Chain A
Amino acid sequence: MSATDDGDDPFNAFVTRCRVGGGDGMLSDLSIGVKDNISTEDVETTCASQVLEGYVPPYDATAVKRLKDAGASIVGKTNLDEFGMGSTTETSAYGATRNPVDPERVPGGSSGGSAAAVAAGEVDAALGTDTGGSVRCPAAFCGVVGYKPTYGLVSRYGLIAYANSLECIGPIADDVETVGRVLDVIAGEDHRDGTCNLEAGDLASAAREPVELGGLSVAVPEELVGDGVDPDVEAEFERAVDVLKSEGASVDRVSMPSLERALAAYYVIAMGEASSNLARFDGVRYGPGGGDGDWNESFSSARAGFGDEVKRRVMLGTFALSEGYHDEYYDKAQQARELVRRDFHRVFEDADVVASPTMPVTAFELGEALDDPLEMYQMDVNTVPVNLAGVPSVSVPAGDVDGLPVGLQLTAAKNRDAELLSTAAAFEEAWS
């Protein structure tokens, strides 16, 4: 199966259509899209990059294998920013994905194809991957639910790495219950991933059992609201907070000073890891391959197939890890990461969840952010702290601004995925 244009794909949500899995099992009623940076046996997996064109993995990612074993039908590989590097799904080598809510706007990213496919009703659920918000951002922009699990809850085996200390596979669906059902199947220990060692509870049930909002304690960090957040988005967020309050939740405004540095730390770490993770794409074993000349020339010509955003991140990451700069950038970023972890830890001593707008803005127009990478990076300010801390987080639809969806981001302490799903379910119920 190959990457082709599909006339039935008005939003360009898919890179490849396929039909694998299906059968008896807990998910036999679901059609599922899988982000095209997750390996699928015998189905081309491109990361939306030219350098992986034609690459057909000989094995399934653990998450995919578990979906198949549970009877889910996998109907396509969804579009993304090349290697997951972006927040708009515009850097794909296979063209931008459009937002089903407004086709002139981006679906968010990098799991834009997954969120768009769900929002357009093409699939019941989709797997995305979330390195700095790549599941939650498109979920917010497309008006669906996107879940980023605790780091270590879902196996990354078969997920083609962008920034391996940060990224997680997470489900996207129309509602919390479906998200919970999919997560329940893909979560849990995997002997092929040494970092996936958390015991998964009954997450499907947790998503079906809303918590009593009356006893819930919610923290709102001042660093994630106010400055930089679109006033209309903030107004919608406050409306969501009011709903929580009216159901009896206690809401406290808190300060998490480390979050001011989270964005910079995130990009240094993510790019540093990316520079190493993407080194293997040298054209020797898969992909279109390099041209003539010696090794170095051949490697260079194979790697010339990367898009501009990928090249930018690989180069910046290489720089950040280089001798003489390593201490100044990479090590400092790791220190900042530790501070973020501690800040979350401290806040969760009193609060059950941290709440904020998922994105500081609503979906922007196609092409708007491409020219200014820094501005695009800035969009991730509310989502990246979660990945630095490795905690679970979900974006739930919470209103709109001029018809464009707004997401409420709820974040819980490490390994409190079941509680977070129940809380998201309770909000979903209270909001509607």
Chain B
Amino acid sequence: MTDADVVIGLEVHVQLDTDSKMFCGCSTEYDDSPPNTHTCPTCLGLPGALPVVNERAVEYAVKVGKALDCSIAEDTAFHRKNYFYPDLPKNFQITQYDSPINEDGELEISVEDESKSVGIRRAHMEEDPGSLVHKGGSIERSSYTLVDYNRSGTPLLEIVTEPDVESPEEARAVVDKLREILEYLGVFDADRGGALRVDANVSISVDDEEGTRTEVKNIGSTKGVVKALRYEVTRQKNQLKRGGDVQQETRHYDDDRGVTVTLREKAEEKDYRYFREADIPPLETSEYVEEVEIPELPDERRRRFREEYGLSREEASKLTSKKAVADFYEEVADVDSDLAATWVVDELLGELNYRDMTVEDVDAEDFRGLVELVDAGEVTDANAVEAIRASLDGRQGFVEVVEERGLGVADEGETLEACRTAVEENPDAVDDYLSGDDEALNYLVGQVMQATGGGADPATVNEVLREELEGEG
């Protein structure tokens, strides 16, 4: 094979984090609820029930449109996508076909410091189906299937990219960047399972000649994006290498096995018979467009962090990938922007992550107090780390832990006192030191540190001990 290029277009489905569903008043907080308890005539598709558009969902869609630099349609409409499936109570899905609310946007991504722009073809609103539980395992083996309509009617935004994505890694960057932006906009709950799902159109073009494309469905996670697409790209390349053709088809990504398998061949492709949903009048967006404001987005904030706080690219990137972390940092930064960055990025985030916690679980004001103590030399680095750990484990304030456990720096008198005591109580170590064993000094330093609860400065302790021991000798 000669010159082969990977061509990928992504369809990213995101659940919008509204309180109620897309077309009815049912709550979207159903994750821990028994099946079919968040339903009403509309989301159950009962005869005669009608959809009414959730204005908050429209507002969120406009936010995303603005953030992705889309042109936002003045008038937008909904359509029916007709197909039979048991999780779809009306046997059609309300979506937007030829009049999506957002079109022609752009997304900046960077992979290994190479930046590029990926076109956003459209981002339109639709409703999520219910969910199926196959009793007895897989679809093939189960004897029956249960339907839970709690999810039915949850608002979705489908973001469709142009086929500008040239590698699985770029695809991952697109998904990561979208997650960041959606999270910044406050329209998306990144921690919710299944809140983001990806389908991908993949083809290989050889010598600039367009290849046949397959659609890979059911990619659930960011990690899955790379795995699924690497598999599919390799599969297609191998097929071409062997002189075969890639078949146009829909493939299903099996996350457990990390492979894609044929779901439907071209001849079985569905005809969705799209047409206007007359139950929903055309929607004017001008008011939303005027009123909706978007916050500073991750890229902007990254740039500002580097300029305003003098942070490295890596630090700025780590601090801004989640809005909550960036907000947290900014509450601590004015103590000393470098020191604050180090303590948030290098220590706090790791300790939080280890405990499955987030910055939302801790008080920025309190953490700022700890960084101030470190800055003033009143708590040693080691003790500050200990304070963070103890505080997170005991769900206690940082500064409170420092005080309660006496983790503050020992003053000169205290240090001198502890050194004298160590010398008095460890005559063997003193002898060893005097007979030339430097290790013995380390032992004594350890004793002093323990006695001062780590509050003494090791360098000072070293010095004082040497002086004291000179006297003994």
**B471 contacts the other chain (CB 8 A):** no
**B100 contacts the other chain (CB 8 A):** no
- Interface-located stretch among B88-96, B219-227, B396-404: B88-96
**A140 contacts the other chain (CB 8 A):** no
| Known interface pairs A279-B92, A285-B89; A195-B278 also in contact (CB < 8 Å) | yes
Closest to A47 in B: B47
Contact of A194 among B45, B145, B281 (CB under 8 A): B281
**B48 contacts the other chain (CB 8 A):** yes
CB distance from B44 to the nearest CB of A (A): 6
Bound-complex Cα distance A284 to B152 (A): 15
Contact of B273 among A282, A296, A321 (CB under 8 A): A321
* CB within 8 Å of A: which B14-53 residues: 41, 44-53
Q: Is the CB of A330 within 8 A of B91?
A: no
Q: Is the CB of A45 within 8 A of B91?
A: no
- Per-residue contact bits, chain A 23-50, to B (CB 8 Å; 1 contact, 0 not): 0000000000000001100000101000
Closest to B273 in A: A321
Q: Is the CB of A55 within 8 A of B147?
A: no
- Per-residue contact bits, chain A 193-206, to B (CB 8 Å; 1 contact, 0 not): 11101000000000
Q: Is the CB of A160 within 8 A of B47?
A: yes
- Residues in A neighbouring B48, C-beta threshold 8 A: 38-39, 57, 61, 156-161
Bound-complex Cα distance A384 to B46 (A): 28
Bound-complex Cα distance A194 to B52 (A): 6
- Residues in A neighbouring B273, C-beta threshold 8 A: 275-276, 318, 321-323, 326
Number of interface residues of A (CB under 8 A): 44
CB distance from A70 to the nearest CB of B (A): 20
Bound-complex Cα distance A280 to B44 (A): 10
**A59 contacts the other chain (CB 8 A):** yes
- Per-residue contact bits, chain B 143-154, to A (CB 8 Å; 1 contact, 0 not): 001010000000
Q: Is the CB of B80 within 8 A of A276?
A: yes
Q: Is the CB of A273 within 8 A of B46?
A: no
- Per-residue contact bits, chain B 320-335, to A (CB 8 Å; 1 contact, 0 not): 0000000000000000
Bound-complex Cα distance A58 to B44 (A): 12
Q: Is the CB of B82 within 8 A of A321?
A: yes
- Residues in A neighbouring B80, C-beta threshold 8 A: 276
CB distance from A332 to the nearest CB of B (A): 13
**A14 contacts the other chain (CB 8 A):** no
- Per-residue contact bits, chain A 268-293, to B (CB 8 Å; 1 contact, 0 not): 00001101100111101110000000
* CB within 8 Å of A: which B257-283 residues: 271, 273, 275-276, 278-281
- Residues in A neighbouring B86, C-beta threshold 8 A: 282, 284, 295
Bound-complex Cα distance A330 to B273 (A): 10
- Residues in B neighbouring A192, C-beta threshold 8 A: 50, 52
- Residues in A neighbouring B281, C-beta threshold 8 A: 194-195, 197
Bound-complex Cα distance A273 to B90 (A): 13
- Residues in B neighbouring A323, C-beta threshold 8 A: 271, 273
Q: Is the CB of A195 within 8 A of B92?
A: no
- Residues in B neighbouring A279, C-beta threshold 8 A: 82, 84, 90-92
- Residues in A neighbouring B53, C-beta threshold 8 A: 194
CB distance from A75 to the nearest CB of B (A): 21
Bound-complex Cα distance A52 to B48 (A): 12
- Residues in B neighbouring A276, C-beta threshold 8 A: 80, 82, 92, 273, 275
- Residues in A neighbouring B44, C-beta threshold 8 A: 285
Closest to A38 in B: B48
- Residues in B neighbouring A237, C-beta threshold 8 A: none
Q: Is the CB of A156 within 8 A of B41?
A: no
Q: Is the CB of B50 within 8 A of A285?
A: no
Q: Is the CB of A296 within 8 A of B278?
A: no
- Residues in A neighbouring B145, C-beta threshold 8 A: 295
Closest to A159 in B: B48
Q: Is the CB of B279 within 8 A of A57?
A: no
Bound-complex Cα distance A165 to B80 (A): 13
- Per-residue contact bits, chain A 163-176, to B (CB 8 Å; 1 contact, 0 not): 01100000000000
CB distance from A196 to the nearest CB of B (A): 9
**A299 contacts the other chain (CB 8 A):** yes
- Residues in B neighbouring A281, C-beta threshold 8 A: 47
| Known interface pairs A276-B273, A279-B84; A284-B90 also in contact (CB < 8 Å) | no
CB distance from A262 to the nearest CB of B (A): 18
Bound-complex Cα distance A45 to B46 (A): 12
- Residues in B neighbouring A161, C-beta threshold 8 A: 47-48
- Residues in B neighbouring A318, C-beta threshold 8 A: 273
Bound-complex Cα distance A315 to B46 (A): 22
CB distance from B26 to the nearest CB of A (A): 13
CB distance from B51 to the nearest CB of A (A): 7
Q: Is the CB of A280 within 8 A of B278?
A: no
Closest to B40 in A: A59
- Residues in A neighbouring B51, C-beta threshold 8 A: 194
Q: Is the CB of A285 within 8 A of B84?
A: no
Bound-complex Cα distance A299 to B147 (A): 15
Bound-complex Cα distance A55 to B48 (A): 12
CB distance from B78 to the nearest CB of A (A): 10
| Most A C-beta atoms less than 10 A away, residue of B49, B80, B147 | B49
CB distance from A316 to the nearest CB of B (A): 13
Closest to A155 in B: B50
Q: Is the CB of A273 within 8 A of B278?
A: yes
* CB within 8 Å of A: which B271-322 residues: 271, 273, 275-276, 278-281
Closest to B283 in A: A194
Known: A193-B279, A282-B86, A323-B273. 8 other contacts (CB 8 A): A161-B47, A165-B278, A195-B279, A273-B275, A280-B91, A284-B147, A285-B45, A285-B46
Q: Pick 16 A–B contacts, CB within 8 A, sort by A.
A: A58-B41, A159-B48, A161-B48, A193-B52, A194-B50, A195-B280, A276-B273, A279-B84, A279-B90, A280-B89, A280-B90, A284-B147, A285-B89, A295-B145, A318-B273, A321-B273
Q: Give the A-binding residues of B (Cβ under 8 A).
A: 41, 44-53, 80, 82, 84-86, 89-92, 145, 147, 271, 273, 275-276, 278-281
Q: Give the B-binding residues of A (Cβ under 8 A).
A: 38-39, 45, 47, 52, 55, 57-59, 61, 156-161, 164-165, 191-195, 197, 272-273, 275-276, 279-282, 284-286, 295-296, 299, 318, 321-323, 326, 330
The 9 closest A-B pairs by CB, nearest first: A165-B278, A279-B91, A321-B273, A160-B47, A158-B48, A39-B48, A323-B271, A160-B48, A280-B90
